[in-house]
Structure 1
Amino acid sequence: MSLLHVQHLSKTFGGVAALDDVSFELPAGQMLALIGPNGAGKSTCFNLINGQLRPDAGAVLLAGKDIAGMPARHIWQRGVARTFQVSAAFGSMTVLENVQAALLSHRRQLWRWWRPAASCLRDEAMALLEQVGMAAQARRACGVLAYGDIKRVELAMALSNAPRLLLMDEPTAGMAPRERQQLMALTRRLVSERGLSVLFTEHSMDVVFAFADRIIVLARGQLIAQGEPESVRRDARVREAYFGSGASFGEANMGSPA
Structure 2
Amino acid sequence: MTPILEVRDLSRHFGAIRAVDRVSFRLAPGEMLALIGPNGAGKSTCFDMLMGQTDPTSGQVLLDGRDITGWPARRVWRAGVGRTFQVTATYGSMRVVENVQTALMSHHRRSFAAWPRFRRLYREEAMALLEQVGMADQAGRPAAVLAYGDLKRLDLAMALAHGPRLLLMDEPTAGMAPAERAALMELTAGIVARQGMAVLFTEHDMEAVFGHAHRVLVLNRGEIIADGPPEAIRADARVQEVYLGGGTEALAAEARDG
Specify if TM > 0.5.
yes
Q: Which runs of 5+ in 1 are unaligned?
A: none
Distance of 2:153 and 2:87 partners within structure 1: 13
1:245 CA displacement:
4.1
Which residue number in structure 2 is paired with residue 151 of structure 1?
152
1:61 is aligned to 2:62: yes
Supply the AA of the counterpart residue of 1:153.
L
State the secondary structure of the residue aligned to 2:254: coil
- Does the C-alpha gap of structure 1 residues 197 and 246 become closer, same or farther in structure 2, counting only changes over 3 Å? closer
1:4 is aligned to 2:10: no
The size of the alignment, in residue pairs, is 257
Which residue number in structure 2 is paired with residue 170 of structure 1?
171
Distance of 1:204 and 1:246 partners within structure 2: 16
1:253 CA displacement:
1.1
Distance of 2:248 and 2:17 partners within structure 1: 29
1:126 CA displacement:
0.5
- Does the C-alpha gap of structure 1 residues 227 and 118 become closer, same or farther in structure 2, counting only changes over 3 Å? same
Supply the AA of the counterpart residue of 1:216.
L
1:47 is aligned to 2:53: no
Question: Residue by residue, what CA displacement relative to the aligned partner does 1:93-116 show, whole Å, maximum 9, x if unpaired?
Answer: 100110000000111113464443
Counterpart contact for 2:244–2:250, Cα < 8 Å = no
State the secondary structure of the residue aligned to 1:173: coil
Distance of 1:104 and 1:3 partners within structure 2: 25
Question: Residue by residue, what CA displacement relative to the aligned partner does 1:165-212 show, whole Å, maximum 9, x if unpaired?
Answer: 000000000000000000000000100111110000000000000000
Counterpart contact for 1:239–1:248, Cα < 8 Å = no
1:87 CA displacement:
1.3
1:92 is aligned to 2:93: yes
Which residue number in structure 1 is paired with residue 81 of structure 2?
80
1:68 CA displacement:
1.2
Supply the AA of the counterpart residue of 2:209.
V
Supply the AA of the counterpart residue of 2:26.
E
Counterpart contact for 2:218–2:227, Cα < 8 Å = yes
Distance of 1:111 and 1:53 partners within structure 2: 28
- Does the C-alpha gap of structure 1 residues 146 and 114 become closer, same or farther in structure 2, counting only changes over 3 Å? closer
Distance of 1:249 and 1:28 partners within structure 2: 32
1:240 CA displacement:
1.0
- Does the C-alpha gap of structure 1 residues 248 and 4 become closer, same or farther in structure 2, counting only changes over 3 Å? farther
- Does the C-alpha gap of structure 1 residues 171 and 9 become closer, same or farther in structure 2, counting only changes over 3 Å? same
1:195-234, aligned counterparts within 5 Å? 195-234=196-235
1:235 CA displacement:
0.5
State the secondary structure of the residue aligned to 2:10: strand
State the secondary structure of the residue aligned to 1:119: coil
Question: Residue by residue, what CA displacement relative to the aligned partner does 1:128-173 show, whole Å, maximum 9, x if unpaired?
Answer: 0010010110010000000000011010000001000000000000
Distance of 2:232 and 2:71 partners within structure 1: 35
State the secondary structure of the residue aligned to 1:218: strand
Name which structure has the greater RCO, CA cutoff 8 Å, separation 6+.
1
State the secondary structure of the residue aligned to 2:33: strand
- Does the C-alpha gap of structure 1 residues 228 and 246 become closer, same or farther in structure 2, counting only changes over 3 Å? closer
Question: Residue by residue, what CA displacement relative to the aligned partner does 1:44-72 show, whole Å, maximum 9, x if unpaired?
Answer: 00000000000000001101011110000
Counterpart contact for 1:239–1:247, Cα < 8 Å = no
1:229-248, aligned counterparts within 5 Å? 229-243=230-244, 245=246
Q: Which runs of 5+ in 2 are unaligned?
A: none
What value does the CA root-mean-square deviation take over the aligned residues?
1.8
1:19 is aligned to 2:17: no
Which residue number in structure 1 is paired with residue 120 of structure 2?
119
Counterpart contact for 1:91–1:141, Cα < 8 Å = yes
Distance of 1:162 and 1:193 partners within structure 2: 12
State the secondary structure of the residue aligned to 2:161: helix
1:2 CA displacement:
1.0
